[in-house]
């Protein structure tokens, strides 16, 4: 018969039964907003199934804190990211590992890749430049654009005609948005070179046709009937009798007793009330 070696059968034998199937992991907020402080996110496991004789599951979480089918994690800074996983085990020792959706914190004061630029960054008074907002992929809910000649709110490109010379500051503030907010600032150098402009004389009669005035000339205006005042519409700025240029149509649309005029841009002017 031969020798028979004895075998130790005292060890524990683990029997794995019916498998765990299904299982869905959901998250209550995949972009927690930490602008005003720490936020807690909850993940939930559902729809698990098994044919094990005894019902029920146990859950072992990694990356989040929990002992049942729910687990949580706290977020305190922009960019904090958690992708938890959980091992779901039935009463017959069968298990399944489920990876949950990632949650990444946002901060509305710190948008991703948000920037702005100007082109050109040096112009003559009366010329325009373009202010461009870039790197923002979310939806703009409210914004403000400030600086001499600036107007507009949500947008990616703005055409600006300054009304004064100097190194001018322009600020775009994205106050709120689906992917965050923020502020960017640019500077433009504006030069008044009108001292070298050529002289030009024009006559305007009361109620007569409008005259086009443009950069490059120092206009001397004669009012043929000594009535009315100079009223201008256009873009850019205008200087009356040597005064500091003012934006056309911005608290300076009408100019009385204006006989020497410089237009930084283009204006249509006539003699009227």
pLDDT digits (tens, 9 = 90+) for 100-130: 999 999 876 666 677 899 999 999 998 899 9
Question: Which superfamily, per CATH, for 115-191?
Answer: Immunoglobulins (2.60.40.10)
Q: What is the mean pLDDT of residues 135-139?
A: 69
Q: How far apart are the first and last CA of the chain?
A: 131
pLDDT at 218 > cutoff 70? yes
3-state class (DSSP) for residue 250: coil
Say what the pTM is.
Answer: 0.53
pLDDT at 252 > cutoff 50? no
| pLDDT for 184 | 87
d(CA 179, CA 135): 11
Q: Nearest 5°: phi and psi at 205?
A: -95, 150
Give CATH for domain 20-104: 2.60.40
Nearest to 213 by CA among 180, 260, 250: 260
Our CA dihedral for 136, 139, 141, 143, rounded to 10 degrees, sits at 20
d(CA 122, CA 191): 8
């Amino acid at each position: 018969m031969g020798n028979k070696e004895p075998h130790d059968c005292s060890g524990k034998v683990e029997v794995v039964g019916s498998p765990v199937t299904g299982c869905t992991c959901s998250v209550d907020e995949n972009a927690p907003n930490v602008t005003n402080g720490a936020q807690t996110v909850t993940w939930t496991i559902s729809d698990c199934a098994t044919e094990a004789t005894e019902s029920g599951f146990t859950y072992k979480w990694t990356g989040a804190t929990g002992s049942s089918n729910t687990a949580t994690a706290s977020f305190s800074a922009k960019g904090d990211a958690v992708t938890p996983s959980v091992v779901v085990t039935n009463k017959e020792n069968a298990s399944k590992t489920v990876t949950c959706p990632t949650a990444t914190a946002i901060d509305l004061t710190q948008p991703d890749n948000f920037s702005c630029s100007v082109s050109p960054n040096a112009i003559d008074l009366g010329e325009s430049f373009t202010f461009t907002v870039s790197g923002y992929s979310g939806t703009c809910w409210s914004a403000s654009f400030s600086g001499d000649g600036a107007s507009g709110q949500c947008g990616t490109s703005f055409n600006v005609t300054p009304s004064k010379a100097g190194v001018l500051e322009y600020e775009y503030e994205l106050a709120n948005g689906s992917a965050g907010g923020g502020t960017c600032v640019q500077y433009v150098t504006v030069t008044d070179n009108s001292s070298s402009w050529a002289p030009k004389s024009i006559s305007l009669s009361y109620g007569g046709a409008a005259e086009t005035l443009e950069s490059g000339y120092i206009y001397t205006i004669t009012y043929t009937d000594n009535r009315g005042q100079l009223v201008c519409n256009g873009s850019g700025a205008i200087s009356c009798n040597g005064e500091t240029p003012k934006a056309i149509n911005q608290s300076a649309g009408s100019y009385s007793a204006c006989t020497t005029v410089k237009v930084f841009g283009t204006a249509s002017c006539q003699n009227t009330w």
